[in-house]
Amino acid sequence: MAKKEKDIKTNAMRILDRLGISYEVLTYEVPEFEDGIQIADIEGVPRGESFKTLVMRGKSGGYHVFVLPVEREVDLKAAARAVGEKSVEMIHVKDITAVTGYVRGGCSPVGMKKEYPTVVAREAEAFERIYVSGGRIGSTIRLRTEDLLRAAHASLADFTA
């Protein structure tokens, strides 16, 4: 039986709906989540327009969200500067759900259980629309870059390697 649109709504999608932000949902099936490159390839979308969401903890103890192209890595020093920390480090995989409310591979920059400072890699400016996680494994959202920035209360920064 096919799922109805309302059956697949995630917290991220509900927030976008409430804000009146239009988005496109892509769904996919994957035997086991590996990484964002795998998902972009499965969906047949350009890797450069596909962004992953990483959560890091700063030296101050606060959490920060970084959204960057799936083929890029984080420059930790630049990321720390972008969020005003002395240093940042990735949170452990086992802590993702407790911190964000999402699971690894389904972590959207919109709709986490708490609102954390969020920065989007400046590379996103090159695209009118980008792809980010829809808030669960098997779901991707395509939306205007400026709408993502608004919905996630995010800023742009240079922090990729």
Whether 2 maps to a domain, the answer reads no
What range does the domain containing 30 cover?
9-157
Whether 3 maps to a domain, the answer reads no
Q: Which string of DSSP letters, residue by residue, matches 13-42? A: HHHHHHHT---EEEE---SS---HHHHHHH
Tens of pLDDT, residue by residue over 112-148, are 999 999 999 999 999 999 999 999 888 899 999 999 9
The CA distance from 42 to 22, in Å, is 23
For residue 13, give both structure tokens: 């999608």
**CATH number of the domain where residue 55 is located:** 3.90.960.10
Number of domains within the chain: 1
Tens of pLDDT, residue by residue over 86-107, are 999 999 999 999 999 999 888 9
Whether 4 maps to a domain, the answer reads no
Whether 106 maps to a domain, the answer reads yes
Whether 32 maps to a domain, the answer reads yes
Tens of pLDDT, residue by residue over 51-83, are 999 999 999 999 999 999 999 999 999 999 999
